[in-house]
Every structure is written in C-alpha cells, then in structure tokens.
Chain A
Amino acid sequence: MSDTTAYQGAGATPYEPGFGDYVQLLKPRVMSLVVFTALVGLLVAPVHLHPVEAFSAILFIALGAGASGALNMWWDADIDAVMKRTARRPVPAGKVAGGEALGLGMALSGISIVMLWLATNWLAAALLAFTIFFYAVVYSMWLKRSTPQNIVIGGAAGAFPPMIGWVAATGNVSVEAFLMFALIFMWTPPHFWALALFMKEDYHTAGVPMLTVTHGRKATRAHILVYTLLLVPVALGAAVTSIGGPFTLAVAVVLNAWFVVGAWRIWRRDEAVAEADKYAVEKAFFRFSLLYLFLHFAAFLVELALKSAGLGGW
C-alpha cells in the first residue's frame, strides 16, 4: 500500500505541514538575535577564523539555538496553547505533532554540537551543548513552571551565544566573553518583566509563575528598576575592556541612562495610571530594550571598525 492509497482511505484531509512550519519550530526571531550576538562575539575576538569556519560556527550556533527552541515548543505545548502570544505556534496550532518537534530538536541538537566541534573546537561545542540543555531542561522543564526567578536564571541560555562565538574563535573564555554574557543575562529580566506587565492575562491563564503573578505588579516594577541598575556596571564594564573604546563607552552611557530613566518611570507608576494609558510606558520600555541590546553589540562592531582604521580602542 502506497502513502497515497493510505491517505485516500483516511477520510478527511489532514493538515500537511510545510517546510515553513518546521522552520517556525526553530523560533527564527530568537535565532536572529542569536546570530547577531554570536557574530559580534566571534568578530571582536582577537583570533580570526577562516570565513568558511566563521560562517559554519555562526550557522551551527544558530541551529543549536533553534533546536532548543523546538524542544521548548514540544515541552511547553500545553502552556503555549492557552497563551495568546504563543497559541499560533506550530504544535499548539496542530500543524506539527509534538513528537516531530521533539525529534527535530534532538536531531538538530546532535548535528549542531558535533558540527561546531568539527568546525571550531570542543569548548565551543561543549558550551553549545550546555546552552541547549540549560534552555530545554533547566529552564523549560524545571524553572519555568516552578519559580518566579525563571526568567532570571533561564536568561543564561540566551546569554551564551556571544560567549560561544568568542570561544569558537579563541578556544578559551576571557573577561570580554564573560561580560558579553553578563550583558544579555542582566538585560533579560527587565526585558521580559516589562512584557509580563502588559501581557498580564497570558501568564496568569497559563499558570506560569511569572513575578507579576506570584509577587504582584508593584514588586515586578521594583525588580525591573533593580535589575536595570545592576545592568549598568556590566554594560560600562564591557565598554572598558579590549573590545570597547571611547565610542562604545559613550554609547553605553547614553543607552544605560535612557534605560534607567525608563525603569524609573515604570517604578513610579501604579496600575491605575498604566491601565489608563494602556501600558504605554511599559510598552515603550520593552521596545527600547530590544534596541538597547542591538545597539550595544553594534557598538562593539563599530569600535572594531574604528580600531582597524586606527581610531578606536583603548
């Protein structure tokens, strides 16, 4: 019996997932951030890879991140189904079976780790393996449903790519790689808590213990301010290392001043005011947080270009 005869006997036309549905499992928007930060980590490193090796390194780091996204979608399908923001993802929408997401995630995890090892070095591959494990197991399976600190600790998974890019080039971890990691790690909580403030029903409906659900919105506003203040020395610290320079430091000062002002405004507001203007300040802070991270890493690249022209660097 061929697949078409089996199909003819099946009755109603089932949805046939296209290639794009499988790509959606890899969370392409998250992958774009991974590609950018990993690329910056790799380019600002003092050791330069052959372009083919560099391309392979970025590709397999992104693929590993995509694999962890597929594993997350397999595990969190029940939560995703009840949240407006995630209900249209391929598994809860019924486009791709959960088992397929698991299989794709496992296969791509193995391929990306082995290929990154072959293309660069074992330490970069080990860090990628740890990142996938951290996101899929530590964050998705454990922290996300059990503690309001889920975003704080789980943020490490998204912070590893620039460090892996650096390690792929140099073969070791240095203070610059650690500070690029710390920049994303400290940025993640304010970014997601701002989102949680204006997507308030989603996490509550799904029963995810976000800080807004467990400790209330006032406490969340205070946490956003505290983490934003803690982010400042990390961002300025990165700007005074070998990957920074006067330009990076100036960018860091402006971005962090702006970010702190935004966090301060969020902290000063109460729910009645926020409801009245439909969370305009929180939404603006969230949008700026995306720009904040992009511009920080872009500044490292500009500094690199200035250095090669004999202008930048310390």
Chain B
Amino acid sequence: MTFRPEHELHKRRFSRNLGLGLTLVAFVVLVFALTVVKVQRGDPLQGYDHTYQPALLPKVETQP
C-alpha cells in the first residue's frame, strides 16, 4: 500500500495549519502556567466545589 501524494491544496494550507496548531499549543501552555501560578499563590477561590468559604457563612449575632 502506498500513501497518496500530498495534494497541492494541503501544501498551500500548511503554513496556516502549522501556525494555528502552534498558537493553540502556546495557549494551552499559558493557561496551564497561569493555573499553576494562581493555585500556588493561594488566591481566594470563589467556586462552590469542595472549598471552604467563610465569607459565605451567615453572620452570627452577638450580644454587646
């Protein structure tokens, strides 16, 4: 079995596809790096998933 020769259309689209591919890889790397930085620094997490959020607890009335 032989591979079909690459169509000329695909050759001309190569730069576009390569550029888009590299851009997407760079975007994924950047989001990952941002996530690592944010989590390591312990920025306040506002999600409701398994996160203790004292700010959302009801206020307790205290007598003066």
Interface residues of A (CB under 8 A from B): 3-4, 7, 16-20, 22, 50, 52-53, 55-56, 59, 118-119
| B34 partner residues in chain A, CB cutoff 8 A | 52-53, 56, 118-119
Docked complex Cα distance between A16 and B10 (Å): 10
A20 touches B41 (CB 8 A): no
Known: A4-B10, A7-B9, A56-B30. A19 touches B15 (CB 8 A): yes
A18 contacts which of B9, B16, B30, B37 (Cβ < 8 Å)?
A: B16
Q: Which of B9, B16, B30 sits near A19, CB closer than 8 Å?
A: B16
Total interface residues on B, CB under 8 Å, equals: 16
The answer, yes or no, to whether B45 is at the interface (CB within 8 Å) is no
Q: Contacts of A22 on B, CB cut-off 8 Å?
A: 16, 19
Q: Report whether B37 and A16 are in contact in the complex, using a CB–CB cutoff of 8 Å.
A: no
Contacts of A18 in B (CB 8 A): 12, 15-16, 19
Residues in B whose Cβ lies below 8 Å from that of A16: 9, 12-13, 16
- Chain B residues packing against A (C-beta within 8 Å): 7, 9-10, 12-13, 15-16, 18-20, 30, 33-34, 36-37, 41
Known: A52-B30, A52-B34. 4 other contacts (CB 8 A): A4-B7, A4-B9, A55-B30, A56-B30
| The 5 A-B residue pairs with the shortest CB-CB distance in the complex, in nearest-first order | A19-B19, A16-B12, A4-B7, A18-B15, A52-B37
Residue of A nearest to B14 (CB): A18
In the complex, which residues of chain B have a beta carbon less than 8 angstroms from the beta carbon of A3? 9
Please name all residues of chain B whose beta carbon is closer than 8 Å to the beta carbon of A4 when the two chains form the complex.
7, 9-10
Given A19-B20, A20-B15, A52:B33 Cβ within 8 A: yes
Report the minimum CB–CB distance from B61 to chain A (whole Å): 32
Contacts of B12 in A (CB 8 A): 16, 18
Report chain A residues within 8 Å CB of B13.
Answer: 16
Residues of A within 8 A of B20 (CB): 19
For the complex, give the distance between the alpha carbons of A30 and B16 in Å: 22
Write the nearest CB–CB distance from A276 to chain B, whole angstroms: 47
Q: Give the complex CA separation of A86 and B8 in angstroms.
A: 31
User: Nearest-CB distance from A61 to chain B (Å)?
Assistant: 14
Q: List residues of chain B with CB within 8 A of the CB of A20.
A: 15, 19
Q: Is the CB of A17 within 8 A of B33?
A: no
Q: Given the complex of chains A and B, what is the CA–CA distance between A185 and B23 in angstroms?
A: 33
Query: How far, in whole Å, are A149 and B42 apart by their CA atoms in the complex?
Result: 48
Q: Which residues of A contact B41 (CB under 8 A)?
A: 50
In the complex with contacts A4-B10, A7-B9, A17-B16 CB distance below 8 A: yes
Bound-complex Cα distance A119 to B18 (A): 27
> In the complex, what residue of chain A is closest to B41 when comparing beta carbons?
A50
Q: Which residues of A contact B37 (CB under 8 A)?
A: 50, 52-53
CA distance A55 to B12 in the complex (A): 33
The closest CB in chain A to the CB of B19 belongs to A19
Residue of A nearest to B17 (CB): A19
CA distance A55 to B27 in the complex (A): 12
5 of the cross-chain contacts (CB-CB < 8 Å) are A18-B19, A19-B20, A22-B19, A52-B30, A52-B37
